[in-house]
Amino acid sequence: MTIRRATISDVAREADVSPSTASVVFSGKTPVSDATRRRVLAAAANLGYIGPDPRAASLRLGRSGIVGVVVGSSMNHLFLDPVQRLMMDGLAEEVAPFGAGLLLLRTGTDVENAPTLLTAPLDAAVLIGCDLPLRHSLDAAHSRGLPIVVIEGDAGPGVPRILLDNRDAQRTAAAYLRDLGHTDVAIVTLRPSFEVGGGWLDADVDITIDVTRERLEGARDVFPTAPALATAGSSIDEGLAAGRVLFADPHRRPTAVIAQSDLLAAGVIRAAEEAGLAVPGDVSVTGFDGVPVDGLAPYELTTLVQSATDKGRAAGAAVAAMLDGRTPASVLLSCTFRIGDTTGPPLSRR
């Protein structure tokens, strides 16, 4: 029953040529006479040979066509975020022409021999953010010569990064609210660190997740004393919960909320509706990301539009460059401010 799969040598023998010739028929690296090509292809069809074994090819070529993407422990969580989904699409799109696909590597699971940066046959790796536990295996991978790119995170010197002008962008949105006349503004943040979950953010907590910190800084550049309520991650339900806290006391509610993501903003808007508040009449809400939020309609969010797809593509391009032996520079992408219908002057000004 164990029928050994035909190899290229078998095909060569059947076609009465040398293995090298048979090989080039498939790879096309060297011209081959038409007659020979036909003979080889016929022999291949005959033996049911479909093409070179990718494993052998990858050993010889030193390229496996696989780019590792280090995601957190749960894809359910990661891909909840439209930004990540679009980014993955951009990334996949960009590396595809290189014959590369994306291998999902999960961290945080302590399964015995789960695949890692070191055990998987990777050509390169892309890190999304960069949490501490990763740094260890990262160094090893790096020292093995594996090209690495980091998206919105810092993996040490020499690792190209794909960054977003989070702080500037968020400052723009905050300034817009200020110019509308808002002074009583609350901030709903993404997760501040892997240790801390949600809750009011004291001044002294250490915000280790870059995105959260940068966007918070941008908001605080304009509203230095604005209270910040942290969530455990980017989702409508987290935003809803935060919004309920913000709107709980009718006498002490903000006139505007800066949410650090569109999903959070959608949740805050939902909470406002629940509390009988009109958006933007009673409360203005800004988001961040500029992604279509399923279920946000009919609102058009005032937000900072980033092209998540471009972010993925930039990472892909950086990977491609490294595979070509070049050394890509870090990339800083910009957001554009989009004014929607969820912001307006505060009640007192109208």
SS3 call for 279: coil
Closer by beta carbon to DNA, 5 or else 349: 5
Closest CB 159 distance from DNA, rounded Å:
23
Closer by beta carbon to its own copies, 59 or else 347: 59
Closer by beta carbon to DNA, 36 or else 137: 36
Cβ-proximal residues to 338 (8 Å cutoff; 6+ apart), any chain: 290, 301, 302, 303, 304, 305
Total residues belonging to the chain: 350
Q: Are 250 and 244 in contact, with CB atoms under 8 Å apart?
A: no
Helix (H) or strand (E) holding 122: none
Site string for its own copies, 221-260 (x = CB under 8 A): --------------xxx--x--------------------
d(CA 64, CA 56): 10
Q: Are 258 and 286 in contact, with CB atoms under 8 Å apart?
A: yes
For position 200 contacting its own copies by CB under 8 A, the verdict is no
Binding partner of residue 85 among its own copies, DNA, none, CB cut-off 5 to 8 Å per kind: its own copies
Place of tokens 């028929």: 25
Q: Which of 24, 36, 41, 106 binds its own copies (CB under 8 A)?
A: 106
Q: Are 192 and 205 in contact, with CB atoms under 8 Å apart?
A: yes
For position 136 contacting its own copies by CB under 8 A, the verdict is no
Binding partner of residue 106 among its own copies, DNA, none, CB cut-off 5 to 8 Å per kind: its own copies
d(CA 288, CA 299): 14
Binding partner of residue 225 among DNA, its own copies, none, CB cut-off 5 to 8 Å per kind: none
Place of tokens 């290229």: 8
Q: Using alpha carbons, list the distances in angstroms from residue 175 to 124, 219, 253, 286, 313.
A: 40, 8, 20, 12, 30
SS3 call for 171: helix
Per the rule left: phi > 0, alpha: psi between -120 and 50, beta: everything else, 325 is: left
Binding partner of residue 276 among its own copies, DNA, none, CB cut-off 5 to 8 Å per kind: none
Closer by beta carbon to DNA, 143 or else 225: 143
Binding partner of residue 30 among its own copies, DNA, none, CB cut-off 5 to 8 Å per kind: DNA
Q: Which of 16, 18, 45, 118 binds its own copies (CB under 8 A)?
A: 118
Give the residues lining the site for DNA (CB under 7 A). Answer: 4-5, 7-9, 16-21, 23-24, 26-27, 29-33, 35-36, 49, 52-53, 55-57, 59-62
Q: Which of 36, 58, 193, 208 binds its own copies (CB under 8 A)?
A: 58
Binding partner of residue 180 among DNA, its own copies, none, CB cut-off 5 to 8 Å per kind: none
For position 33 contacting its own copies by CB under 8 A, the verdict is no
Cβ-proximal residues to 35 (8 Å cutoff; 6+ apart), any chain: none
DSSP string, 47-101: HT--S--HHHHHHHHS--SEEEEEE-S-HHHHTTSHHHHHHHHHHHHHHGGGT-E
d(CA 81, CA 293): 10
Closest CB 204 distance from its own copies, rounded Å:
32
Stretch of residues binding its own copies (CB under 8 A), selected from 35-43, 93-101, 178-186, 197-205: 93-101
b/e burial code for range 183-212 (CB count within 10 A of at least 16 → b): eebbbbbbbbbeebebeebeeeeebebbbb
Q: Which of 5, 38, 136, 349 binds its own copies (CB under 8 A)?
A: 5
Binding partner of residue 251 among its own copies, DNA, none, CB cut-off 5 to 8 Å per kind: none
Closer by beta carbon to its own copies, 64 or else 172: 64
Contacting residues toward its own copies, per CB under 8 A: 5, 48, 50-51, 53-56, 58-59, 62, 64-66, 68, 74-76, 79-80, 82, 85-86, 88-89, 92-93, 96-106, 109, 111-115, 118-122, 140, 143-145, 235-237, 240, 263, 266-267, 270, 292, 294-295, 297
